[in-house]
Amino acid sequence: MSVAEEAMSDQSAVMRVLRGQAAVKPPVWLMRQAGRYLPEYRELRARASSFLDFCYDPRLASEATMQPVRRFGFDAAILFSDILVVPDALGVSVSFENGEGPRLAPVDTWERLLALKKEIDLSYLSPVFETISTVRAMLSGGTALIGFCGAPWTVASYMVAGRGSPDHASARLLAYRQPALFRDLVERLIEASIAYLGAQFEAGVDAVQIFDSWAGVLPPREFERWCFDPLRRIIAGVRRARPQAPIIAFARGAGGHLPRLAEASGADAIGLDTTIDLDFAAARVQSVKPVQGNLDPLALVAGGAALEAAVDDILAKLGRGPLIFNLGHGILPETPIGHVEQMIRRLRAS
């Protein structure tokens, strides 16, 4: 990053926290902030034939990215896309059934794995990079643009099962029964993620977040192999070309592994899910790296005194150190907009 670029990105509160500075009032954005809880999103979504067509239409995707920033004045925009564009660009057929979540052609045998593209086809994802440059040009310097990818374990769990599942048993069983096959899939995803995140920085994102949404289902030995090690290697890989690249690691359910992620993964900030004890987070995670989180999405649905108490707890325990205020997981479609406004008022008044 040039000195001029660095000075520019330092205008954004999110970037300052990512560099380790505590803010008087923590900057805020919400995971999945572009989504069905917004009427303007539902209207935009109805204009695309499928969810992936929506993601690959730079005009629609840039508008979806901007909507929550315009409405709420969040301190960061997150690229509107999905973690499953990576398998799509590896040649897996991906679709989203209405209301039922993603469907993929399962990759659970050597034959199916070897039929994939050897490397991610970045030209296939050119609409995503166009969305990034369009949004970057629309945002003021004070608002950070965050890119993202799914972590290999989380993406692999969808690829192996061909869909979401509560316990991720298909991927866990494949990793036990055919470790060489699962290893090969994860290696491909590590390389694909390094290339994809690098191209997102090239197109104009200020920081990226790696979502390991299903890290919490693995026993420690498996966590080390399939979550920690791939995360560390993606971060190191991205930094080979961009030594300063700001990276947030969100390993949902990682609990007691978070201090190690903060100390040894190379991430600049650690995402906290809803279940993390705030004293533990302050003493063992935020003492090492800035943190992001961790309001319960259901407290935001509930609103009222429960919401205010939950916001106040986070500010009391984590607000004096480097903190990016966020949810502990994605915003729920039934979230009332008035409660998001209430949350912001409470944060700004703090």
Provide the annotated active-site residues: 32, 36, 45, 82, 158
Q: The tokens of 174 are what?
A: 């494949």
Report in angstroms how near the CB of residue 179 gets to ligand CP3 at its nearest: 24
Q: Judged by CB under 6 A, does residue 340 bind ligand CP3?
A: no
The DSSP H or E segment spanning 294 is strand 291-295
Report in angstroms how near the CB of residue 6 gets to ligand CP3 at its nearest: 26
Of 250 and 321, nearer to ligand CP3 (C-beta) is: 250
| Residues within window 15-34 making contact with ligand CP3, judged by CB under 6 A | 31-34
What is the contact mask toward ligand CP3 in residues 148 to 177, using x (rule: CB under 6 A)?
x-x---x---------x-------------
Short-list 279, 61, 28, 266, CA closest to 144: 28
Of 90 and 282, nearer to ligand CP3 (C-beta) is: 90
What is the contact mask toward ligand CP3 in residues 183 to 202, using x (rule: CB under 6 A)?
--------------------
Q: Give dist(CA 108, CA 223) in Å, integer.
A: 20
Q: Which stretch binds ligand CP3 (CB under 6 A): 118-126, 129-137, 146-154, 299-307?
A: 146-154
Q: Name the closest residue to ligand CP3 (Cβ).
A: 213
Q: DSSP characters for 61-85?
A: HHHHHHHHHHHH--SEEE-S--TTH
Q: Judged by CB under 6 A, does residue 213 bind ligand CP3?
A: yes
Q: Give dist(CA 212, CA 328) in Å, integer.
A: 13
- Collect all residues with Cβ–Cβ distance below 8 Å to 9 and sequence separation of at least 6: 1, 15, 141, 144, 206
Short-list 292, 294, 309, 297, CA closest to 333: 297
Of 41 and 228, nearer to ligand CP3 (C-beta) is: 41
Q: The tokens of 179 are what?
A: 């470790």
Q: The tokens of 241 are what?
A: 């070309």
Residue with tokens 């009222």: 304
* 3-state secondary structure (DSSP) of residue 338: helix
What is the contact mask toward ligand CP3 in residues 63 to 82, using x (rule: CB under 6 A)?
---------------x-xxx
Q: Judged by CB under 6 A, does residue 83 bind ligand CP3?
A: yes
Of 77 and 347, nearer to ligand CP3 (C-beta) is: 77
| Residues within window 287-326 making contact with ligand CP3, judged by CB under 6 A | none
Q: The tokens of 98 are what?
A: 């209405």
Answer for which of 71, 96, 202, 342 binds ligand CP3 (CB under 6 A) is 96
Answer for which of 61, 66, 84, 310 binds ligand CP3 (CB under 6 A) is 84
Q: Give dist(CA 191, CA 157) in Å, integer.
A: 17
Cis peptide before 294 (omega within 30 of 0): yes
| Residues within window 244-263 making contact with ligand CP3, judged by CB under 6 A | none
For residues 262 and 270, the answer to whether their CB atoms sit within 8 Å is yes
Which positions touch ligand CP3 (CB under 6 A)? 31-36, 45, 51, 78, 80-84, 96, 101-102, 148, 150, 154, 164, 211, 213, 330
